[in-house]
């Protein structure tokens, strides 16, 4: 953070540049070049206010920079690299919802609190309002949260990287 103590020479230069009608950013740049400092536009404004130089009585007849006729480059870049949400979304054909197949396994239907460290966390229930969610509870496969049958049920066709692109990881939180 820049110190608020300006050297007297810097304050004199600020007063001089304000009298010339320079903008605060031009003043900060000129002082930085002249004294090898790193004042910002905001620092120059703050110092001018503390000195009583900034405010509504600043001369209005100071020279203004000419307006350019061509649009700024930044606007062209924004149009060229428009964000994804601005671009029109493609319209996909409506498809039928596929009903998932059932794994031939009899779940233990354990509650979240009854699950042990090595138990399968494949959920059952919760489809209807008020229905409790239970979990499979069979010993899980190494490197997975599910037992072998549920592991294969959750894996779709494609390579591992294709499957990873569409997976969402869920984290179980311990109940207090």
The alpha carbon of residue 19 and the mean position of all alpha carbons in its chain are separated, in whole angstroms, by 44
Do the domain assignments include residue 87?
no
Do the domain assignments include residue 37?
yes
Do the domain assignments include residue 80?
no
pLDDT in the model for residue 78: 58
Do the domain assignments include residue 89?
no
Do the domain assignments include residue 170?
yes
Do the domain assignments include residue 140?
yes
* pLDDT by residue, tens only, the chain of 176 residues: 445 678 999 999 999 999 888 889 999 999 999 998 989 999 999 999 988 887 655 555 555 666 655 555 655 555 556 555 566 666 777 777 666 555 577 888 899 899 999 999 999 888 788 888 999 899 988 888 898 888 877 776 665 666 565 555 556 566 65
pLDDT in the model for residue 69: 57
Number of domains in the chain: 2
Q: Which domain holds residue 172?
A: 107-176
Do the domain assignments include residue 88?
no
């Amino acid at each position: 953070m820049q110190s608020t103590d300006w050297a007297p020479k810097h304050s004199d230069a600020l007063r001089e540049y304000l009298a010339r009608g320079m903008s605060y950013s031009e003043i900060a740049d000129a002082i930085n070049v002249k004294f090898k400092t790193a004042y910002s536009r905001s620092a120059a404004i703050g110092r001018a206010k503390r000195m009583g130089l900034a405010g509504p009585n600043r001369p209005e007849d100071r020279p203004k920079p000419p307006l350019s006729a061509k649009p700024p480059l930044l606007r062209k870049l924004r149009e060229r690299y428009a964000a994804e949400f601005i671009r029109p979304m493609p319209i996909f054909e409506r498809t039928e919802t596929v009903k998932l197949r059932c794994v031939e396994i009899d779940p233990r239907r354990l509650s979240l609190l009854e699950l042990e460290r090595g138990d399968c966390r494949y959920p059952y229930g919760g489809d209807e309002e008020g229905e409790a969610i239970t979990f499979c509870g069979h010993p899980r496969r190494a490197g997975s949260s599910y037992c072998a049958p549920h592991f294969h049920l959750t894996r779709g066709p494609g390579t591992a990287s294709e499957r990873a692109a569409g997976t969402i990881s869920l984290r179980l939180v311990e109940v207090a």
